[in-house]
Structure 1
Amino acid sequence: MKKELPATLRFVLLEDNANDAELIQLELARNGVQVDWTHVASKQAFLDALRDDAKPPDLILADYTLPGFDGLAALKLVLEWRPDVPFIFVSGSLGEERAIEALKSGATDYVLKDRLQRLPAVVNRALTEARERRERRQAEVALEEQRLLLGTLIDSLPEIVYAVDTQSRLTVVNRALLDTLRKKREAVIGRRLSEVWPEETIVEIETQAESIFRTGRTLTDQERAWITPDGAVRWFTFTQVPLRDHNTVVGLVCTVREITNQKALEQEILEISNREQRRLGSDLHDGLGQELTGLSLLLKGLEMQLAREAQQYSSQVTKISDLLAHAIQSTRSLARGLAPVNLERGGLPEALKHLAVRCTDLYSLECSFTSGAQKLPELEEGAATHLYRIAQEATTNAARYARATTVAIDLRATGRKLQLSIADNGIGLSAGLAQGRPGMGLKIMEYRARMLGGTISFEEPGQGTRIVLSAPLHLLRRAKESSGKDKLRRVI
């Protein structure tokens, strides 16, 4: 008892018999309980002791029968003024029925006066239970305060934050998500996110969540695009972190950060670069290329005149003419490389066909291009350029580093996805990287895939390498004007 109880306890003893009061005090003192006693025998004195905030009682002992004042009336006062303080009846006239009535009324316990040896144990148990209740209540208050604090902090974040259970049902949502969904909290709690946010991207995120529950791995900064009902495109990064209870995943905490402005800035920077490349390509083709072509025509005339008047110079002029023809071809190739995709002349498929031919000629290997039966929609020029550059990087790697002899480029629409694959029969990606080959090209391809709102995988199906890019078609199409609406915001 000394280890569990404070050094000195404050007890209020309601007892009209002085001898009984002394016996009670002696019994507790004999068992090592240090008590600061307040002995009262009337209702008013008892009430004053209860109201004394300077010396609040730790426990109350009361007789059941007193002149003009009984124990049940005292118990009602305690429940009103000190509901957390244990109340023990110590009486010689308390029968079984009264004892049951007293306990139902809120008494902690009772001890008969002819069995006072039980009193220390009963007191100790009552004080221990009271302390545990008090600590539990304090913990609940602290927990509620923490919950309110965390709820306020989460609601104040600009990022979307939510939590789901193992059935992907929402258990926590913040204000940013509710504002995005334009729904009230009670309308989303307990439901799957895909039920209240019916978007293909959300279904994909929930599918990934199933793998997180199995593996326990965190998925961070996955970029996804969402088309709003008014046709605007909003970009988000998703992070999903397992919520564990003793190493068991019991849910996920997810954050969604909008990066629409960041993506727009990145796109604008890339578009500036693309515009500058197209301008340089146009200047090369229409400026230097045309001037070289004109010079070639003049040289042809000179060659014909020299063939008649000074044949000894004809061979030299022919060499100059050949060099000039090669310079014209190089200029055209350079111009085409700066602006590889021309939407007015076949678009991406035509550009990939030319890439296959050029790869065959340049690297002396067999490079082919195929496309699916489904007609491709008109792609936005920036998106088409990203796709072309990915194919260009992949074919270059296959020829230079993988020592491939065949390369197959395939472009097709599958449902609502556009798929670009480049397969070769070389030594494989892992072998190439193991030989210290540069890996910057892979990172650039991954970056371009993210800019398209898609995913890219690098596979090694037994022999060679297969690179597969998959992106949503609705993010790649050319923006068109519709009546009553502004142009859709460019995504790629």
Structure 2
Amino acid sequence: MTFREKLFASFLGVALLICLANWMVLTNLNKILFSFQEVISKTAPTIKSLYEWKLALQKEKILVKELERVYKNPAKRKKLLLQLNEVQSEFARGRVQIEYSLFREKPNLLSQVEKLWNQRYVFILEGRFYEARKLTPPLEKLIQESLDLMKYQLDEKKRKALTIAQRNQWMNLWIIGGLLLVSMALGGWISYLFAQRIHLLERAFQEMGKGNLQYQVPLQGKDEITHLCRQFNEMVQKLREISLSRDYFSSLLETLGSILVVLDRKGKILYGNPSFFKTLNMTPSEGKERNIFDFLVLPLDSSPKKFLENPDQENEVFLCSSKNETIPFLVTLSPFLEDRFILVGQNLSRQKKLETELLEISNREQRRIAQELHDSLGQHLGGMKFMLESLVEKAKRGETPRSEFLEHLAKLMGEALEKARNFTHTLYSLEIQREGLKRGLLELCKNMEKIWNASCHIEWKTDQDLEKNLERDLHLYRIVQEGLNNAFRHGQASEIWIILEKDSHEWRLVVKDNGRSFSLENTTNEGMGLSIMQYRARMIGGYLEIRSHPDHGTTLICHFPL
């Protein structure tokens, strides 16, 4: 064998060894990547399903609490049971995606979760809420234990993969280094490229472990690592969606208009939503760790101990703010976890104010009716009584009454009857019941013109008539009646327009006058009338809009649905 042949053979052998070494590197790395990819593809759906179970359990807890509160209401109970069935369906869908082979270390773990879940659901359907609540902590613990097991397996596979990769890297580098510096550099360069991308995945898992679900692994090329990185990014995206759903429910609790407070067994405040601290006029740091009974004024027949020992009952209480203001609330205390309570309360200030306004308006109307009966109808009836007594005296004396006297008496009786009829129409319009809203408003306008000596016009700016609805028409009639009284009595209007118009999505009933304007902030009795009009508008699914400008009078618009 010549030198050239030996040199060629040597170079050929080195080249073959380099190829063999690189083939070994690639083979081992492919095995590692394939194994790691297989673990991720099996584990990702399982982790996603477990997170969905956890979220579904939180939803179910909220629904169960609401179901327990309205259990005696068949309509609400049916609606909540349908929502519970949807949560149960989510649990079933998640169970299909779980890879049971991943739970070889604890084969009975998932079966325990399913058993507790189904047993709890049966308790809920049977109305056994206390037994259902007892199963909630162990169920949460089992789901969390399943998640921890998946995370542990991922960490273990990652550690093994990195260990094997590093061991193969150094072993092949030694082989290549012993053969040729070029082969060592080539092998090191190839190993570095793969190790760098594996470290990117490691960093991604570390970021996910810290709770950073915004981190994305950069995609390079179209090989197996890129595919693995893409699957990881998809998994993080799904986890982010689940996290957003959880944050949505958290923000929902934060923005509730009602107060929501978490208490311990002694009444100490552990958490309060912003509405609670806003009502107390203090910051969360000032109110936290204090006792709820520092702010809560209970009924005379109750005590803090009795209040805490009898949950799930509605109580009317008062909350005392830092400004010594007492605000009425309707509160319900419900057990939460093993040693907690949740206090939910609704502000009754608006309701109490409306009740007071209704009572004041009722008293005011009674005084007005009495005054009008005395001033108008009473005077006519008194005159008629005097004339009839005079007729009786003349009859006793055998005298014949003059025709002028009887005509005057008949005229007084006709006027009294007319006043009684007009007064009855101001209290209740029979035309609404018989012929609809338009006819009732026409009669109302005629009566108001006679009473106030003013002009009242009705414009129906639509070809389509309102469908006859007695309850809605009476509310609209009372709104117009109150608007006319305010315009004549307080605005001193001389002309009023009542307009009904319609567009593609609503009706509008407008009462417009040319009287004096007024400020909504400075109303007293009129303000009570406005509150009742707004209440009537809400009763028919609409709302009230008021515009008042100097020199342009006042416009009252009632918007209500088609």
Give the TM-score category using the shorter length: 0.3 to 0.5
Task: Give TM-score, length-normalised by structure 2.
Answer: 0.36
Greater helix share, structure number: 2
